[in-house]
A and B are shown apart, each in its own frame.
Chain A
Amino acid sequence: MRHLTYLAVLVACLACAAWLEPLLRVGVLRRWRPLVATVAVVAAVFTAWDVLAIAAGQWSYDPAQLVGVTLPGRLPLEELLFFLVVPVCAILAFEATRRVTGWSDGSASAGSSGAGGVSGAGGSSAPVDGAEGGGQR
């Protein structure tokens, strides 16, 4: 069982955040396409860092506590999974906090950089769910 140590930590980590999805209905996992796009970029950058650090001998892993699948760059499978699990957990936490507080992350507010150019949003004071349309003819 010792070889499952790292994997068990990852499962526990995911379990700590996953309940936010149904409880607060943050929709992070439901909108999985943008999530995959985000996590792929983050995982690519940080696994590259990891591989370089392993090559430089900055850290190493205890083979007895790994399932034993090693990816190119001497990267343990768990380490790749780490860079998938942690970003998902972080985004869940971020969106849950946003939902509970109602605070803006800046991405949809008028003063933000406008990156992304969301279709038809027009860039200023996004109308909400038809609320503004009520008085129009």
Chain B
Amino acid sequence: MSYTVAAGCGVVIAVLIDLFGLRTGLVRRRLFWATYPIVFGFQLVFNGILTGRGVVRYRPSAILGLRLADAPVEDLAFGFALVLFTSVRKPRTKREKRKPVFRGE
């Protein structure tokens, strides 16, 4: 199996777990889509360093060859699956009704 297929499966599985497995439904929440671009930006930087400097090397036949900031697009999918799965599994939050930033305590 190529990394392309594996990464695609990873994304699909993470989304299925979110929607139907643990029913966290984060991909339907604006909070997730507000957070993900921030994480994605840092991923581009650090992933770019790792791949650009050749710390991680990919077998050319295992990837499509499309790259964004030196990172194979498969890495971006892998990263999405990792971040979504982490968010799905993250500790439950008990206190919910906090006002943004302002706290009266």
Interface residues of A (CB under 8 A from B): 5-6, 9, 12-13, 16-17, 28, 31, 34-35, 37-39, 41-42, 45-46, 49, 53, 56-62, 65-66, 83, 86-87, 89-91, 93-95, 97-109, 112-113, 115-116, 118, 121, 126, 128-129
Contact = CB atoms under 8 A, between A and B. Distances in A.
Nearest to B86: A87
Interface residues of B, number: 49
Contacts of A87: 82, 86
Contacts of B25: 106, 112-113
A86 B6 contact: no
Contacts of A104: 29, 31, 96
A108 to B, nearest CB: 4
Contact of A97 (B38, B46, B59, B98): B38
A103 B31 contact: yes
Given A89-B39, A91-B86, A107-B93, A101 B31 contact: yes
B49 to A, nearest CB: 6
A109 B24 contact: no
A121 B87 CA distance: 22
Interface in B49-67: 49-50, 53-59, 62-63
